[in-house]
Amino acid sequence: MIMYKNIRFFKGYLQSFCDVLLESLNSLPGDARTQIGFITYDSRIHYYDLSDRQNGTFRVMIAPDLDSKPEDFLPMPDGLMVTLCECRSTVETFLNELPKLYQDNHETDSALGSALQIAGKLLGQTGGRVTVIQTRIPNINPGALNEAIPSGGQSGKEPTTVGPTSDYYKRLSLDYASIQIACDLFLLNSHHIDLATLSMYNCFRRVQ
């Protein structure tokens, strides 16, 4: 008979992502100056201020509406990227709390384009590495992609062209390369996600 000591239920990638990152914080390459930051997004952009060292708590800031162009400015000058060894406890609290924050989230949209521009602004001075985890096709401008699977015209044939449909991500990638930002894209989609276009995002990267 097999005895199960410990049964753990995971719901959503967010939980496992946070667990794994929590375990591997020590093995992130870099010296004592290593900085870490998080931005999450659905139809809005959520920023996290992790700089509170006294209480070990973090603040969430939400850019409510993308018409006001949140990519043009950052809500605070510092605190979005924190030195890992100084704010270690805050980062750990954050990773423990993050899956609980969004477990009842019913937003289905995704503003990837804006979030990427904000990431570029955040890392513009130093360069760095942007790790993106995306679960659906981005559907909010800028960078919205067509959700319909391209069909081969009227006759209902198989799609004939599998090429990028927008050069938004290509331009973003070239901008990133010029300011020393490397980018990783992880896709966890269950539906059509237009990989041909999204992958342009890390075609042109130049690793620092």
CA–CA dist 159, 152 (Å, integer): 4
**Residue 166, C-beta contacts closer than 8 angstroms, at least 6 positions apart:** 143, 145, 197
**How many positions of this chain bind other proteins (CB under 8 A)?**
64
Binding window for other proteins (CB under 8 A); candidates: 65-73, 105-113, 154-162, 197-205: 105-113
Query: Least Å distance between CB 165 and other proteins?
Result: 20
Kindly tell me which residue out of 88, 129, 171, 192 binds other proteins, with binding defined by CB under 8 A.
129
Kindly tell me which residue out of 52, 86, 92, 109 binds other proteins, with binding defined by CB under 8 A.
109
Binding window for other proteins (CB under 8 A); candidates: 9-17, 153-161, 168-176, 194-202: 9-17
CA–CA dist 48, 52 (Å, integer): 11
> Does residue 198 belong to the site contacting other proteins (CB under 8 A)?
no
Nearest-CA neighbor of 43 among 138, 157, 178, 145?
138
Residue with tokens 């753990």: 8
Nearer to other proteins, 31 or 158 (CB): 31
Helix, strand, or coil (residue 65) = coil
Nearest-CA neighbor of 52 among 20, 86, 6, 29?
86
Helix axes 112-122, 168-178, angle to 10 degrees: 10
Pairing of the two strands 128-134 and 181-187: parallel
> Does residue 43 belong to the site contacting other proteins (CB under 8 A)?
yes
Kindly tell me which residue out of 51, 89, 93, 135 binds other proteins, with binding defined by CB under 8 A.
135
Nearer to other proteins, 161 or 190 (CB): 190
List residues binding other proteins (CB under 8 A).
4-14, 16-17, 21, 28-31, 33-43, 46, 81, 83, 98, 101-103, 105-110, 112, 115-116, 119, 122-123, 126-136, 180, 188-190, 208
